[in-house]
Amino acid sequence: MTWKKLLIPLASVPLILLLAYGFRTDPKAIPSPLVQKPAPEFRLKAFDGGEVSLAELKGKPVVLNFWASWCYPACYEEAPLLEATWKRFKEQGLMMVGVDIQDKEANAREFLQRFGFTFPNVPDPGSKVSIDYGVYGVPETFFIDRQGQIVYKHVGALTPALVEAQVQALLKGK
Amino acid sequence: MISTLGHFVLFLALGMSLYAAGAAVYGARTGREDWLASSRNAVLVNWCLVTLALFLLEYALITSDFSIRYVANNSTRGSLTRYKIAGLWGSLEGSILLWAWLQSLFSALVVARYTDRHQAVMPYVQAVLQGICAFFLLVMTFAANPFAPSFPVPPDGRGLNPLLEVTDMLVHPLLLYLGYVGFSVPFAFAMAALITGRLSEEWLKNTRRWTIVAWLFLTGGIFYGGWWSYRTLGWGGYWAWDPVENASFMPWLTGTAFIHSVMIQERKRMLKVWNLVLITLTFSLVIFGTFLTRSGILGSVHAFAEGPVGMVFLGFLALVLLFSLGLIAYRADRLKGHGELDSVVSRESAFLLNNVVLIGICFTVFLGTIFPLLTEAIRGTKISVGMPYFNRVSVPLGMALLLLMGIGPLIAWGRASLNNLRRNFVKPVVAAAAATAVLVVLGVRQAEALLAFLCSFFVVGTIALEFWTSTRTRAATTGEGFLQAFAALLLRSRRRYGGLIVHLGVVVAIIGIAVSSIYKVEHEVTLKPGERMEIGPYTVQFNDLQAGERPTHILVWANLTVLKGNTPLTELHPGQRFYPNQQSPFASVDASYHWNQDLYTILSTFERDGSSATIKVMINPMMAWIWIGGCVILLGVLVAVLPERRLAMLTARAKAQPA
């Protein structure tokens, strides 16, 4: 086979390289406009009967997690990590709130029981809070600093490394 | 249990297809018939194994066995059984299992059909088909296992996206998959021809029917998808140039080009390399399409979940391209065509032009589809290519294609004489011009619409003239009645007349597309109960809002009365469906469909207390023609491919029945 003929199959190489490059990009990566903005306030009744108000948590860094019992597997994957993070950092002043969206109450309570959540969790009747936060799909997690500013938003299941880094940064911040 | 068993069966099937491919090649190289027979058996066993895997997953879906992750993600207890079944192709892993099953089925069909024919090429055909099958099995066994267990087991599954819980979900994906997989058969025969060096027209003859059937399924899938989108998605359109729609359209374009250009090779022994390139392109575009849908590199409404699968598909695409283009390069010396163009005014050149235009459209669509990726790679900025680009480029090319559709089938082979041109084209041109003039008199002024009508009338004219003269000639020479002569004609050259019927269907669809997009009327207004809006000749009155619980969702709908003058015509009930598991509501479109226009209503938003509703009303003229055109295409293909005996039986029966 001559070199000239080799050009026929080689013509497809640039295309393949371009497509391979595509893996390095994320077509869905649209930065949240809420980052560096004050976290929208809400006041809701928790599953355990108490009341959670974001305004009253000012001065504490907050991890705000949106979840649902039908959100399998992502919410199921990150649930143990959330509880562990809460147990580990609550003494240092970290606050954690779970918001359950678009769910049936019985299923939601079963979810809470299964993972033994001890941090406050609230249902979101009418999806008001999830609309305020522009939640697109669960799970989504917002990291809010002591001044009540959203500093980071994560879409999809959390990973230990990410939580560690974000929470440490929040706790160090003023 | 099912989890382990299913995964194990997939491994067995993978081993079986690898063995079948290897044994076929070894048997062919050494000329040992026992190995070839063993390979054929392995193909059949492979099909049985993949069928078993398919049944296992369906069983798990139907019985809501959420210990399997795929089932938990794609089905809920509350779903109807048919949607549980459809869960198989609702998402990545299951759809690959379905694909693998169809691939193994087609392999088995090819083997069963040609057991004692084409013995020189069959082993390689088998090897290529089983190689493709092995790829899909490999994906499932190592990258996207549909039988992966779930832990912890959720109380209920997530279910299909509500948009997919409609009966259309049972049709559209299957048609597309049948089309995609179908094109692997001519591809395999082409590769076998290249490998064995048997490069005559044999492979074209063997695959003609397979190709046309694959084309039929793909065409049907595309049309059905448009119809589905139009009736349910609630934006009033049927085609959005979404990357995944384009992914199905591109192999359709090259496949259509292939169907036409093989005729030149059969007749004139020209374009040998070109035909091989076309079928390679078609199959590669099929794989490219699956890669797009499953890799997540481009945003799309159709996209499946992301994962390592994208990389695997890209690797396979690279393999297919390098392997097949490499083979073509290897055989290039023996692929010299025999003939040359005698004249520019000939059927060959009309077909060639048709190919150029089809490939031109394909390239345009391809460029538009990957352009966002291209700009990001080169300039680091994200841009998106929208409908205006695609429409602007494809409309003129589509017109050119339409014109060629009128010329191609009737112009003479070799060198068209002036007499041939005069006989076949003067009348249609005059008739088309006259009919278009009538439209101008009736008030049609849009240049684009007039051009579309002119070309369409011309094509219809040529087809009518061809049917008319041939039938008349036959009736005169045989003494048969007119209808009988017509039927006999259809029977005798089914490929030609089936093709002409397909062309007729395309024209009908293009008229529908042109008129509905140029003369669409759309109004969106917010109304209080009792208020009315005017659109075209109609008055739409908003009566009130109602809500009710459905098995899987809550439905809110508006009661509308449509009046013409003061006479009520019909009631429409557009609504929104609210699903507990979904963030945003889904439109529930209501429309009154007619052959000449659709009155289409959408409930955009509403006040919860029922005090007002925003309603979008559209008049889409001649929309039905698109779907009718699709049916005519189907009819034409059936005429072209139905076996002789079957058709003869049908006509005999028709004759026996008094009309």
Q: Do the Cβ atoms of B583 and A76 come within 8 Å?
A: no
Better pLDDT: B131 or A25: B131
B325, A70: Cβ pair inside 8 Å? Answer: no
Average pLDDT over residues B153-175: 82
The residues, any chain, with a CB within 8 Å of residue A122's CB and separated by 6 or more, are A42, A44, A45, A46, A47, A52, A97, A98, A99, A100, A129
Instruction: Say whether pLDDT at B147 is over 90.
Output: yes
Q: Is B213 on the interface with A (CB under 8 A)?
A: no
Residue B329 lies in a domain: no
Look at A76 and B152 and tell me if their CB atoms are within 8 Å: yes
Mean pLDDT, residues A112-141 taken together: 87
The enclosing domain of B543 has a CATH number of 2.60.98
Residue B318: list chain A partners with CB under 8 A.
12, 16
Q: CB distance from B329 to chain A under 8 Å?
A: yes
Give me the pLDDT at residue B306, please.
Answer: 53
Does residue A62 have a pLDDT over 50? yes
The answer to whether the CB atoms of A73 and B69 lie below 8 A apart is yes
Same-domain check for residues B72 and B84: yes
Q: Do A8 and B329 touch (CB under 8 A)?
A: yes
Nearest-CA distance B528 → chain A (Å)? 24
Instruction: Report CB contact under 8 Å: A127, B154.
Output: no
Among chain B residues, CA nearest to A128: B583
Clarify whether residues B458 and B599 are in a common domain. no
pLDDT tens string B456-510: 999 999 999 999 988 988 888 888 888 888 888 888 888 889 999 999 999 999 9
Same domain assignment for residues B506 and B586: no
Looking at B124, B155, B186, the residue that finishes a domain is B155
Of all residues in chain A, the one with the smallest CA distance to B581 is A102
Q: Residue B545 is inside which H or E element, if any?
A: strand B538-549
Contact of B580 with chain A, judged by CB distance below 8 Å, is answered with yes
Nearest CB neighbour to A19, from listed B297, B322, B326: B297
Option in B329, B373, B580 nearest A5 (CB)? B329
Q: How many angstroms separate the CA atoms of B273 and B281, rounded?
A: 12
Does pLDDT of B205 surpass 70? yes
Which domain-ending residue is among B108, B132, B155? B155
B301 within a domain of the structure (yes/no):
no
Query: Which residues from chain A sit within 8 angstroms of residue B152, using beta carbons?
Result: 76, 114
pLDDT band at B372 (very low <50, low <70, confident <90, very high): confident
DSSP secondary structure string for all residues of B17-32: HHHHHHHHHHHHHHT-
Q: Is B310 on the interface with A (CB under 8 A)?
A: yes
Banded model confidence at residue B339, pLDDT cuts 50, 70, 90: low
Give the residue on A whose Cα is nearest the Cα of B74. A72
pLDDT at position B303 is 47
Mean pLDDT of B256-261: 94
Q: Do B72 and A6 touch (CB under 8 A)?
A: no
Q: What is the mean pLDDT of residues B212-221?
A: 96
Of A5, A135, A136, the CB nearest to B332: A5
Residue B399 has pLDDT above 50, yes or no: yes
Nearest-by-Cβ selection for A9 from B314, B325, B374? B325
Note whether B155 contacts A127, CB cutoff 8 Å: no
Q: What are the Cα distances from residue B457, in Å, to A75, A112, B402, B451, B498?
A: 59, 68, 10, 10, 19
Residue B295 near chain A (CB below 8 Å): yes
Most confident of B285-299, B404-418, B622-636: B622-636
Under 8 Å between Cβ of B341 and B348: yes
Beta bridge partners of B549: B554
Q: Looking at residue B657, what is its pLDDT?
A: 57
pLDDT value at position B540?
Answer: 94
Q: Which of B299, B370, B582 sits opposite A18 (nearest CB)?
A: B370
Kindly write down the DSSP assignment for every residue of B195-207, as one continuous string. HHT--STHHHHHH
Give the pLDDT confidence score for residue A14 in this predicted structure.
Answer: 85
B530 shares a domain with B514:
no
pLDDT band at B266 (very low <50, low <70, confident <90, very high): confident
**Quick one: pLDDT at residue B301?**
46
Residue B326 contacts A where some CB pair is shorter than 8 Å: yes
Average pLDDT of the segment spanning B29-39: 93
Provide the percentage of residues in chain B whose pLDDT is more than 90.
Answer: 52
CB contact under 8 A, A27 and B296: yes
Average pLDDT for residues B625-648, to the nearest whole number? 86
Please indicate whether, in this complex, the C-beta atoms of B298 and A22 are within 8 angstroms of each other: yes
Residue B300 has pLDDT above 70, yes or no: no
| A9·B297 Cβ contact <8 A | no
* Residue B453 scores a pLDDT above 70: yes
**pLDDT at residue A155, rounded to an integer:** 83
Which range in A68-72, B146-150, B182-186, B579-583 is most confidently predicted, on average pLDDT? B182-186
CB contact under 8 A, A5 and B330: yes
Query: What is the number of structural domains in chain B?
Result: 3
Interchain CB contact of B372 with A (< 8 Å): yes
Q: What is the pLDDT of residue B643?
A: 72
From the list A9, A70, A71, the residue facing B329 with the nearest CB is A9
Residues of chain A in contact with residue B372, where contact means CB-CB under 8 angstroms, are 27
Domains in chain A: ranges and CATH: 34-172 (3.40.30.10)
CATH code at B89? 1.20.120
* Claim to verify: residue B13 and residue B148 sit in the same structural domain: yes
Asked whether B296 and B311 are in contact (CB, 8 A), the reply is: no
Phi, psi of A87 (to 5 degrees): -60, -35
Separation of alpha carbons A96 and A85, rounded Å: 9
Asked if residue B394 is part of any domain, the answer here is no
What single-letter amino acid sits at B646?
R
Q: Are residues B31 and B129 in the same domain?
A: yes
| Contact at CB, B580 and A11, closer than 8 angstroms | no
Q: Which of B73, B156, B317 sits opposite A16 (nearest CB)?
A: B317
The nearest alpha carbon in chain B to A24 belongs to: B297
Using the Cβ of B448 and the Cβ atoms of chain A, whether some distance falls under 8 Å is answered with no
Quick check: B318 and A127 CB within 8 A?
A: no
Entry pTM: 0.84
Enumerate residues 6+ apart whose C-beta is below 8 A from B475: B481, B482, B484, B485
Q: Give the minimum alpha-carbon distance from B609 to chain A in angstroms, rounded to a whole number.
A: 14
Beta-carbon separation of A137 and B583 below 8 A: yes
At B610 the pLDDT is 85
The side-by-side arrangement of strands in the sheet containing A121-123 is A121-123, A95-100, A62-67, A140-144, A150-155
B29 and B70 together in one domain: yes
> Which amino acid is located at B337 in the chain?
G
How far is A115 from B243, CA to CA, in rounded Å? 40
Nearest C-alpha in B relative to A13: B318
**Other CB atoms within 10 Å distance of the CB of residue B62:** 16
pLDDT score for B322: 93
Best-predicted range by mean pLDDT (B28-42, B71-85, B156-170, B403-417): B28-42
Residue B12 confidence (pLDDT) above 80: yes
B579 and B595, same domain (yes or no): yes
Mean pLDDT for chain B?
Answer: 88
Nearest to B297 among A22, A72, A135 (CB): A22
pLDDT at A144: 93
Nearest to B322 by CA among A8, A19, A22, A14: A8
Facing A12 at nearest CB: one of B291, B321, B330: B321
A137 pLDDT higher than 80:
no
Output the DSSP codes for A23-84. Answer: GGS-TT----TTTTSBPPP-EEE-TTS-EEESGGGTTS-EEEEEE-TT-TTHHHHHHHHHHH
- Of all residues in chain B, the one with the smallest CA distance to A68 is B581
For the segment B296-313, the average pLDDT, to the nearest whole number, is: 63
Reported confidence tier of residue B386, pLDDT bands at 50, 70, 90: confident
User: How far is residue B183's CA from residue B320's CA, in Å, rounded to a whole number?
Assistant: 14
Pair type for strands B597-606 and B532-535: unpaired
> Do B492 and B457 reside in the same domain of the chain?
yes
Inter-chain residue contact B330 with A1, CB threshold 8 Å? yes
pLDDT at residue B659 tops 50? no
B244 within some domain: no
Q: How confident is the model over B536-572, as pLDDT tens digits? A: 899 999 999 999 888 778 899 999 999 998 889 999 9
Domain of residue B507 covers 417-518+633-656
Answer yes or no: is B281 within a domain: no
Cα B138 versus chain centre, distance? 26
**Which of A6, A76, A127 has its CB closest to that of B329?**
A6
To the nearest whole Å, the CA of B292 is away from the closest chain A CA by 9
* Cβ–Cβ under 8 Å, residues A86 and A94: yes
- Give CA angle at B72 (B61, B555), nearest 5°: 90
Structural domain ending residue among the three candidates B122, B155, B188: B155
Chain A positions with Cβ closer than 8 Å to B: 1, 5-9, 11-12, 15-16, 18-23, 25, 27-28, 68-73, 76, 101-104, 107, 110, 114, 127, 130, 135-137
- For residue A109, what is the nearest residue in chain B, using CA coordinates? B155
Same domain, B451 and B600: no
- B480 in the same domain as B559: no
Residue B279 lies in a domain: no
* Claim to verify: residue B14 and residue B128 sit in the same structural domain: yes
- Distance of alpha carbon B428 from its chain centroid, rounded? 31
Instruction: Quote the pLDDT of residue A134.
Output: 83
Inside any domain, residue B546: yes
Mind listing the pLDDT tens digit for each residue in B410-452? 888 878 788 888 888 889 999 999 999 999 888 888 888 899 9
The residue with greater pLDDT, A147 or B309, is: A147
Give B161's contacts (C-beta < 8 A, 6+ positions apart).
Answer: B90, B582
